[in-house]
Amino acid sequence: MEPIITRFPPSPSGYLHIGGARTALFNWLYAKKTKGKFILRIEDTDAARSTTESVQAILDSLEWLGIDWDEGPYFQSQRAPIHAEYIEKLVACGAAYYCSCTPDEVDAMREAAKACGKKPMYNGKCRDRHLEKGPDTVVRLRTPDTGVTVVEDIVKGNVAFQNAEMDDFILQRSDGSAMYNLAVVVDDLTMGINTIIRGDDHLINTPKQMLIYQALNAAVPVFGHVPMVLGSDKSRLSKRHGAMSVGEYQKMGFLPDAVINYLVRLGWSHGDQEFFTRQDLIEKFDLEHLGRSASMFDMDKLMALNARHIQSKSPEDLAAFLLPHLQDLQLTAEDNVFTHGVIQTLAPRSKTLVEMAQAARFYYQDTIEFDEKAAAKFLTPDTMGILQHSAKGIRALDTYTEASLEDIFKKIMDDSKLGFGKIAQPIRVAITGTTVSPGIFEMLLVLGKEKTVCRIDAAVKWIQEQA
């Protein structure tokens, strides 16, 4: 059996969005699963809309997602001579012909057909005129007048198209450039693509492409057209639903593994399993379980899945992803033991890396700014004794451990007759500036003895200055 070869052919007229990323993912996973090949091809023949910035943004997004390619990126605009070669073959064998009809003439043909209750289409006027190539000629494919072209779709099942409703469509413009359907077929054929998974908005192109394959006496690839992704209200996916570029999800603090996990579940299933590691997906992905109905994008589900992926990774693995978000907050942080400790305290309660970075501020700041309400309630003359007692006890510790910190808190509780919360909250505010933080002992251990004492002393001084 020949190896599976799939492809992803984005148009570089903008950023890579969720729908395109899902298409790339399906093709990449299937190639990985079958130990085949995944090819990246940039379809940049629309010079007016294609930009180098968009190309780079697409490459960056795929790399961030961890979707690598075995060949490419190829650029369709550089393959014009190959397209022209195949067009000449089609003309030479009689499968295609030159047409000199003007756009106005073709419009008149369509209007005439429409007036007779027929489908508006080109009437084949130049089919048998045996014209030569000229400055204003296009090349058209000679399509069958009868019968059906059946797309044997692995997702939708067999889809039949009446040949009589397809006119002799253009393969080459008068300026010599290839039309989309011809260029795609020639590129797929010459690159050995034998499996094509794409959005069902392309299904309308498939019978035309099949006719080109047949005219070239070439094997037709396996096609699978997956339904579109819809918004939570079942309307076309837009920005308000979450239809942003992949780069935006990176900025929002999502992990690439969480994004690909969520994307693959928008149109594929493996029983009731929702959480997948990257390796899980490579091992379990198949074409048989691609869904036939549209999937709905749900930002809350993506957020919940991201939280699970954050919790499943080690602090060492998360550090590289968190550091850019800390830097965005103008915090100086390194991939070291301290940052790993910070992550360990925050990962269980963080839905995104942005959320984690914001919660980590106090660890990296030299001076703590106190929340006004928190300070008014917990940094008062009444709590100053607790803070002083705590600082004195921590400063005197020979070993700085959770057990030794617990002993100090117990002693303060015994001496003051106060509950744990009455002691912990003033210390929490002194350390972080707010009333919300990781567990008090794990936080103090990560912060270290010196910083802990320094911050408690600073809070005592602040109380004294307010008096």
Over the stretch 208-236, which tens digit does the pLDDT of each residue have?
999 999 999 999 999 999 998 887 677 77
Q: What is the pLDDT of residue 69?
A: 98
Q: What is the pLDDT of residue 288?
A: 96
313-356: CATH topology: Helicase, Ruva Protein; domain 3 (1.10.8)
CATH architecture of residue range(s) 80-225: 3-Layer(aba) Sandwich (3.40)
CB neighbour list of residue 339: distance below 8 Å, 6 or more residues apart:
315, 319, 322, 323, 333
Strands 5-8 and 37-42: parallel
Q: What is the pLDDT of residue 238?
A: 60
pLDDT over 90 percentage in the chain: 90
pLDDT, tens only, 263-284: 999 999 999 999 999 999 999 9
Instruction: Give the separation between CA 258 and CA 311, rounded to whole angstroms.
Output: 11
The matching CATH number, chosen from 1.10.1160.10, 2.60.40.1180, 3.30.565.10, 2.30.30.100, for 246-311 is 1.10.1160.10
366-466: CATH topology: Arc Repressor Mutant, subunit A (1.10.10)
Q: What is the pLDDT of residue 47?
A: 79
Please determine whether the domains at 80-225 and 246-311 fall in the same fold group of CATH: no
- Residue spans of the domains in the chain: they are 80-225, 246-311, 313-356, 366-466
Query: In terms of C-beta density within 10 A (0-12 exposed, 13-18 middle, 19 or more buried), how is residue 12 classed?
Result: buried
> Which one is catalytic: 114, 118, 119, 239?
239
Q: Is 313 among the residues known to form the active site? A: no
pLDDT, tens only, 124-176: 999 999 999 999 999 999 999 999 999 999 999 999 999 999 999 999 999 99
CB neighbour list of residue 324: distance below 8 Å, 6 or more residues apart:
none
Q: What is the pLDDT of residue 45?
A: 85
Name the pTM for this structure.
0.92
pLDDT band for position 379 (cuts 50, 70, 90): very high
Least confident span in 87-91, 116-120, 192-196, 402-406: 116-120
pLDDT, tens only, 339-359: 999 999 999 999 999 999 999
When pLDDT is averaged across residues 7-22 and rounded to a whole number, the result is: 93
